[in-house]
Structure 1
Amino acid sequence: MASQSEIIKGMTDKELSKQIIFSQLLLIVVSLLSSLIFFDDMVEWFGLFRFNLYEIAYYGILPGLIIVASDIILIYFFPTKYYDDGGINDRIFRNRSIKKIFAIALLVAVSEEILFRGVIQTTFGYVVASIIFALIHIRYLKKPVLLLSVLIVSFYIGYIFILTENLLVTITAHFIVDFLLGVVIRFKSEVLYNE
Structure 2
Amino acid sequence: MEHKESPEESFNQAQLLKNSSMFYLCIGAVGLMVSYFHHDNMARSWALSSPDYANWEVISLGLLTAGVLAVMAYLFEDFFPSYRALKRVMVGLMGRMTWPGAIYLALLSAVSEEILFRTAIQPSAGVVLTAALFAVLHLGPAQQFGVWALIAFLSGLVFGWTYEATGLILPSLIGHILVNLISFWRFRISFQKAKKRAEKKEGLSPDAPRGVK
TM-score range, shorter chain: 0.7 to 0.9
Residue 22 in structure 1 maps to residue 19 in structure 2: no
The structural deviation recorded for 1:145 is 3.3
> 1:83/1:150 Cα in 2 relative to 1: closer, same or farther (>3 Å)?
farther
2:86 aligned counterpart, secondary structure: coil
Question: Which residue matches 1:135?
Answer: 136
> Normalising by the residue count of structure 1, what TM-score does the alignment of the two structures yield?
0.83
Question: Which residue matches 1:168?
Answer: 170
Residue 116 in structure 1 maps to residue 113 in structure 2: no
Deviation per residue, 1:23-80 (Å, 9 max, x gap): 11111111122224412x4xx322201224323332211111121122113213433x
Question: Does the aligned pair in 2 maintain the 1:95–1:186 contact within 8 Å?
Answer: yes
Residue 145 in structure 1 maps to residue 147 in structure 2: yes
Deviation per residue, 1:106-158 (Å, 9 max, x gap): 11110000000010001222222111111111228445533322211111111
Question: Does the aligned pair in 1 maintain the 2:76–2:83 contact within 8 Å?
Answer: no
* Structure 2 unaligned regions, length at least 5: 1-8, 50-54, 198-213
Question: Does the aligned pair in 1 maintain the 2:11–2:93 contact within 8 Å?
Answer: no
2:25 aligned counterpart, secondary structure: helix
The structural deviation recorded for 1:15 is 0.7
Question: Does the aligned pair in 2 maintain the 1:89–1:185 contact within 8 Å?
Answer: yes
Task: Determine the C-alpha separation between the residues in 2 that align with 1:181 and 1:172.
Answer: 14
> Normalising by the residue count of structure 2, what TM-score does the alignment of the two structures yield?
0.76
> 1:91/1:123 Cα in 2 relative to 1: closer, same or farther (>3 Å)?
farther
> 1:188/1:177 Cα in 2 relative to 1: closer, same or farther (>3 Å)?
same
* Structure 1 unaligned regions, length at least 5: 1-8
The structural deviation recorded for 1:18 is 0.5
Question: Does the aligned pair in 2 maintain the 1:55–1:169 contact within 8 Å?
Answer: no
Task: Determine the C-alpha separation between the residues in 1 that align with 2:37 and 2:129.
Answer: 18
- Indicate which of 40, 44, 63 corresponds to 2:65: 63
1:84 aligned counterpart, secondary structure: helix
Task: Determine the C-alpha separation between the residues in 2 that align with 1:124 and 1:74.
Answer: 28
AA partner of residue 20 (structure 1): S
Question: Does the aligned pair in 1 maintain the 2:127–2:160 contact within 8 Å?
Answer: yes
Question: Does the aligned pair in 2 maintain the 1:56–1:172 contact within 8 Å?
Answer: no
Question: Which residue matches 1:106?
Answer: 107
Ranked by relative contact order (alpha carbons within 8 Å, sequence separation 6 or more), the top structure is: 1
- Indicate which of 168, 173, 189 corresponds to 2:191: 189
AA partner of residue 76 (structure 1): D
> 1:167/1:92 Cα in 2 relative to 1: closer, same or farther (>3 Å)?
farther
AA partner of residue 48 (structure 1): S
